[in-house]
Chain A
Amino acid sequence: QVQLVQSGAEVQKPGASVKVSCKASGYTFISYYMHWVRQARGQGLEWMGIINPSGVSTSYSQKFQGRVTMTRDTSTSTVYMELSSLTSEDTAVYYCARGRGGSGSYTAFDYWGQGTLVTVSS
């Protein structure tokens, strides 16, 4: 069965960086795009960007351009999302979510990780 297992909760200081991992299993890792979505407490869902695990292509939301980096390790079927220059506004639950396949990168998100809470506090 498809599973996306994310790394544990993080507490970071303002100005620092955080790197969240998402380990995939139960399917062919390089065959499906992976997205990152975040959700502040009590708020809606916000798309951050996408990575193609079969290559090195990424696409980021303009809002996070310059601050976010998405990478992958095919040997461990893991994708990573690193966010730098953190502020309190970045306190949120961060999710990885798999694109369901079909129309290239433009697909709905069929499997989600359990979420990683990132807290930014001095």
Chain B
Amino acid sequence: IVLTQSPGTLSLSPGERVTVSCRASQSLSSNFLAWYQQKPGQAPRLLIYGASSRATDIPDRFRGSGSGTDFTLTISRLEPEDFAVYYCQQYGYSPRTFGQGTRVEIK
């Protein structure tokens, strides 16, 4: 399953709203879709699983939504620590696959 993220890069200021899209090449079973955040030199961190459930200790400004083939990650108000690369991943089929990533950078 191919996951296509858009946009590739977002240039934003702290306090702004972020919307990242992830489209799957076929419908995902049981909405097995996750979002990860990765900062330079660090391992990815799980943010969202099951399309909309926040992982442990993830702030509520992070929200996942969507179903079927279209999914969205929303950050309601950007904090300085949120500037990073975000990946979607489907884990309902093998091979598990990731989107190509969306970079959120400081404007």
A residues bordering B, Cβ < 8 Å?
A: 35, 44-47, 59, 61-63, 95, 97, 100, 103, 106-110, 112-115
Contact = CB atoms under 8 A, between A and B. Distances in A.
B95 interface: yes
The dominant DSSP class at the B interface is: loop
A109 B34 contact: yes
Contact of B95 (A44, A61, A109, A113): A61
Interface of B: 30, 32, 34, 36, 43-46, 49-50, 55-56, 87, 89, 91-92, 94-101
B49 A107 contact: yes
Given A47-B98, A108-B91, A109-B46, 6 more contacts: A44-B98, A95-B43, A97-B44, A106-B92, A107-B91, A109-B89
